[in-house]
Amino acid sequence: MKAIAPSHLKLMFGSSQPTSRSYSCVQNAQRSDSCGTSRSEWRSTFATLTSKVVTQKTLPMPPVSVGIDHVNGHNRAARVLGMNQKPLSVNDLPPAPMHGGANLRVAYQGVPGAYSEAAACKAYPNYESVPCDQFEVAFQAVELWIADRAVLPIENSLGGSIHRNYDLLLRHCLHIVGEVQLPVHHCLLALPGVRKEFLTCVMSHPQGLAQCERTLTKLGLNVTRKAVDNTAVAAEHIAANNIRDTAAIASARAAEIYGLEILEDGLQDDASNVTRFVMLAREPIVPRTDRPFKTSIVFAHEKGTSVLYKVLSAFAARDISLTKIESRPNHNRPIRLVDEANVGTAKHFEYMFYIDFEASMAETRVQNALSEVRELTSFLRVLGSYPMDMTPWSPSSSTSHTASSKMNHSYGNVNMAKP
């Protein structure tokens, strides 16, 4: 499917650049050091932290016709989402009504056979898949009610953070409602009868290529590397175009789907290769204290990075364990002049800071910590408070990736509260 240019996004959904909508979710909110135990009290407290959104322009929801084609959400956009269909693109995003089925529609980036599909299956075993050709399309599919959830990668144990999705978490107002940690087991795939020594090119997602670089060198393959949008897209492209001098780095399931052979199993440089995915929804879930929870926030300060130490101290003083710190450029104010007259040539980069910590928003110590952070910063947004993925993990093997259908993966279910 043809990639959508940023100009098309602007025409359909307004400016693609971050607005005050993205960066004004929580500013100078009233202090609140306690959270009630009832659902209504929790919603009120959570709204103080996450729902003070200043919008420049709210995405309109065009009226939905009630003709026979729209019964239970089975309109044109819904039909695009069936099995063996091309990934959803921005052109398919005009709003559709919420579907009436019991199963959730789950958006992911890529095509069948992608690791994101496996993560979606682990998170929601009885789901209806909504493959999307871009990360942002998956966000918009949930916002426009075409999908109920999105499952998107946020970091990999070898390749690091997926920066694009960190930026999109700010640009969109979805909530993290869970996480999935998926072992990644790469294979070298080619058309039947192709031999490794005759390969001239290897295709995969940039992270897939990076995660197998040393192994490719050890195999003595004199091949060029070609980056594509998704590991499974590489397998699909080779099969669809009958390319016999090129191999794909993808999952064993992709080989099964697209009729390719596995030339090399376990191609990743490190067997402990895990990608962490986040599950996104339009509404937050109610956090609890009866199971391990994780909370994700993002903050910034108009005077730069000097506040970072004080923010970290707010968590350290309450024995709250941080699991992730990530900085990204502040798109609203990327550069700050440092002299008093604000006209000098010395400049500092401005950053947004993302933090994950192991604690629930239902805990008093977390509420007190966030109240202190709110006083220290000019911007604070809670991205979500959600159950941690506590499923047992061991280095993956190819046998766990060769299920006959997406509903029969051996990844196991996420131990989580259903949002």
Q: Which residues are catalytic?
A: 275, 277
Contact predicate 262/398, CB 8 Å: yes
Residue with tokens 């690091």: 160
Question: Degrees (nearest 5) of the Cα angle 308, 309, 311?
Answer: 65
Q: Which amino acid is at 344?
A: G
- From residue 411, alpha-carbon distances to 6, 34, 119 in Å are 36, 38, 8
Query: Is the CA virtual torsion 45, 107, 138, 324 positive or negative?
Result: positive
